């Protein structure tokens, strides 16, 4: 839902930007164009494109009407200018005629009535010329006013679109924060293991169950980890084990006749004894007390795991491990128990 709202805001923002810049076509972001086949995006694009076209058409019609009015006013101004020119010529002639009659009046050579008519004509022409001049000024003022209206229409479109654009940017910022929060919540819905592998010992089976904090859900056996074999070494033999010591491993679950031994080396030796409780054995009606076994753990890594690709290995499969220790002669091997017994025989308890 949040993504849809952000897409709608992006499309609306493209329309508002085009109106502010005075463009005649819409240009949408590349991400919107790439996903334009999505129903909500296609519907929003169609809506905003129709609104953009409608507003553009209405604005163009208003401006066209005002420009037509300007054309008419300019034609009217041209007519008035022509009248002013004609009346100026008439006034010039009437003025000359009046001046001539005034000169004859001083010599009593002209009728006073004729002089009066000439003066009245000049006065009328002067009044008519002043009226035409005033009309021309009014027409020019109307032309300027109409041109200003055209500018106001374009400016109002930019102002209104700019205000809407700022509102959309604020909404987009709020929705982006909400989307980040929602995506974070969605990420926590899916439980992901830190490494790819096979589920082992799943402890949650109830659909819709509640999982508590730090609760173990399952064990995952990594797929791409190196094969490791863990062996138990008796405490009395630990002094013969060293890191990097060569070893041979045989998986006792497979047929010994077809499954070869694999070369390995000691990769890790536990720093201290590991204790493990073993279940007691039943003797008749009685159950013996569980015994505690103590041993060292040794991890071995195979030198070449390629031959194992055809074997179906699973965690916990038993294996026989033979670790090569220091070289000994047959005589020292046979005399070792006797020398140990002799060494302990003369100690005071």
Does 141 fall in a domain?
A: yes
Residue located via tokens 């401006």 = 63
Does residue 166 share a domain with residue 53? yes
Whether residue 283 is predicted with pLDDT greater than 60 in this model: the reply is no
Does residue 234 share a domain with residue 128? no
Whether residue 287 is predicted with pLDDT greater than 60 in this model: the reply is no
Does 218 fall in a domain?
A: no
Q: Which residues contact 165 (CB under 8 A, 6 or more apart)?
A: 13, 16, 17, 20
**pLDDT tier at 82, thresholds 50, 70, 90:** confident
Rg (CA), the chain: 54
pLDDT at position 120: 86
Sign of the alpha-carbon torsion through 15, 19, 24, 30: negative
**pTM recorded for the entire structure:** 0.46
* d(C-alpha 230, C-alpha 227), whole Å: 10
Task: Tell me the residue range of the domain where 300 lies.
Answer: 226-278+290-327
Does 247 fall in a domain?
A: yes
Does 148 fall in a domain?
A: yes
* d(C-alpha 318, C-alpha 258), whole Å: 17
Does residue 274 share a domain with residue 134? no
Kindly report which listed range (68-77, 120-129, 288-297) carries the lowest average pLDDT score. Answer: 288-297
Does 261 fall in a domain?
A: yes
The tens digit of pLDDT for each residue in 295-348 reads 889 998 887 766 667 677 777 788 888 888 776 666 665 666 666 666 666 555
Does residue 308 share a domain with residue 231? yes
Structurally, the chain folds into a number of domains equal to: 2
pLDDT at position 333: 59
Residue 13, number of CB atoms within 10 A of its CB: 19
Assign residue 31 a region (left: φ > 0; alpha: ψ between -120 and 50; beta: otherwise): alpha
Does residue 181 share a domain with residue 236? no
Q: Residues 26-47: what's their mean pLDDT? A: 85
* d(C-alpha 198, C-alpha 86), whole Å: 106
Does residue 235 share a domain with residue 183? no
Does residue 181 share a domain with residue 95? yes
The fraction of the chain above a pLDDT of 70, given in percent, is: 86
Does 258 fall in a domain?
A: yes
Does residue 243 share a domain with residue 99? no
Per the model's pLDDT, the better-predicted residue between 229 and 259 turns out to be: 229
Does residue 239 share a domain with residue 176? no
**pLDDT tier at 225, thresholds 50, 70, 90:** low
Does 164 fall in a domain?
A: yes
Does residue 22 share a domain with residue 139? yes
CA distances 159 to 30, 200, 210, 256, Å, are 27, 65, 54, 88
Does 196 fall in a domain?
A: no
């Amino acid at each position: 839902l949040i993504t849809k709202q952000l897409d709608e805001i992006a499309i609306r923002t493209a329309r508002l930007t085009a109106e502010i810049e005075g463009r005649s076509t819409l240009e949408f972001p590349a991400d919107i164009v790439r996903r334009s086949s999505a129903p909500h995006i296609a519907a929003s694009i169609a809506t905003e494109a129709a609104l953009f076209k409608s507003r553009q058409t209405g604005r163009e019609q208003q401006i066209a009407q005002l420009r037509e009015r300007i054309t008419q006013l300019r034609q009217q101004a041209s007519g008035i200018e022509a009248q002013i020119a004609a009346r100026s010529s008439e006034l010039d002639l009437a003025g000359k005629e009046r001046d001539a009659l005034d000169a004859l009046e001083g010599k009593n050579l002209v009728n006073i009535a004729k002089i009066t008519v000439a003066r009245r004509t000049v006065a009328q022409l002067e009044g008519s010329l002043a009226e035409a001049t005033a009309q021309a000024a009014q027409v020019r003022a109307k032309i300027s006013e109409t041109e200003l209206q055209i500018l106001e229409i374009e400016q109002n479109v930019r102002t209104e679109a700019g205000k809407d654009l700022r509102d959309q940017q604020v909404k987009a910022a709020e929705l982006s924060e909400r989307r980040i929060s929602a995506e974070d919540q969605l990420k926590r819905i899916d439980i992901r293991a830190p490494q790819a592998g096979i589920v082992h010992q799943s402890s949650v089976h109830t659909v819709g169950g509640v999982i508590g904090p730090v609760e173990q859900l399952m064990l995952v056996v990594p797929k791409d980890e190196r094969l490791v074999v863990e062996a138990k070494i008796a405490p009395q033999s630990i002094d013969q084990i060293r890191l990097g010591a060569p070893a041979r491993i045989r998986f006792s679950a497979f047929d010994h006749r077809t499954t070869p031994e694999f070369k390995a080396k000691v990769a890790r030796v536990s720093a201290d004894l590991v204790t493990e409780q073993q279940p007691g054995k039943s003797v008749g009606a009685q159950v013996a007390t569980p015994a505690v076994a103590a041993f060292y753990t040794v991890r071995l890594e195979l030198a070449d795991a390629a031959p194992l690709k055809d074997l179906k290995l699973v965690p916990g499969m038993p294996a026989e491990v033979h670790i090569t220790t220091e070289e000994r002669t047959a005589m020292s091997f046979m005399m070792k128990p006797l020398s140990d017994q002799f060494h302990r025989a003369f100690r005071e308890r």
